[in-house]
Amino acid sequence: MHSPCPSTNFLSSRYYDGRGITDLFDSPDRAHAWMQTLNEEISFPRSPFTPTEDQLAQLRQLRDTLGSVYRDTLDGDPAQAAAHLRTVLDRTRITPGIVVGDDRLHVRWTTDSHDPFEESVAEIAVSAITAVTGHAATLLCKCEAPRCVLYFTRLNARQHWCSDVCGNRARVARAARTRRKSHPAEGSQPKSEAHNPGGRPSGL
């Protein structure tokens, strides 16, 4: 399940898949497929596009910078978070507009270029401001599952993971630690038996 926050979803383009880190910005086609899925689920980005190699590099840089903004916010370093966020806003020219909804007004941020890439970057930048300021910042959390690199908006006080998958992985890891503490000798074997002639690390 994706977050309704574009900047948080943007950071999810790099994630731990259970074996290692997967980067969906490693090719233009994968980036487009990711955007298309998000568009179908939360209407972001508004116009999915296939980025050029240069745009891919810019997206990866933007992701790294916003990752620092989120991390600094959670580490209680607002000055550093602001410095990183300003580097994003300095390259983004965004203009607020008012959209009339069914029962209320909505703000929609646009760029003068009307380019899908620039519009997406602008929306990501604006949503990052929202995510790390005011009440929303108190709900921002880093997933506590082993090796997960994602963030999420906490919906209740008992939520500690970005997804059920991460919750299950965390519970399995906790159970394994408990077993090791209760039975520290379990699984040990003489050095002669522990030799792994295939060269692959034991336990994998």
Task: Answer whether residue 121 is part of any domain.
Answer: yes
Q: What is the pLDDT of residue 119?
A: 85
Residue of 41, 30, 16, 42 whose CA lies nearest to 127: 42
Task: Answer whether residue 18 is part of any domain.
Answer: yes
Give the gyration radius of the chain's Cα atoms: 21
Could you report the per-residue pLDDT of 129-187, keeping only the tens digit for each?
999 999 999 999 999 988 899 999 998 888 888 887 886 765 666 666 666 767 665 54
Task: Answer whether residue 187 is part of any domain.
Answer: no
Give the domain CATH number at 78.
1.10.3300.10
Total domains in the fold of the chain: 1
Residue type, 125: A
Task: Answer whether residue 78 is part of any domain.
Answer: yes
Residue type, 76: G
Could you report the per-residue pLDDT of 14-26, keeping only the tens digit for each?
999 888 999 999 9
Task: Answer whether residue 145 is part of any domain.
Answer: yes
Could you report the per-residue pLDDT of 103-144, keeping only the tens digit for each?
888 777 777 777 889 888 888 998 999 999 999 999 999 999
- pTM equals 0.77
Task: Answer whether residue 149 is part of any domain.
Answer: yes
Task: Answer whether residue 200 is part of any domain.
Answer: no
Residue of 131, 117, 4 whose CA lies nearest to 50: 117
Question: Range of 70's domain?
Answer: 6-167
Task: Answer whether residue 58 is part of any domain.
Answer: yes
First vs last C-alpha separation in the chain? 29
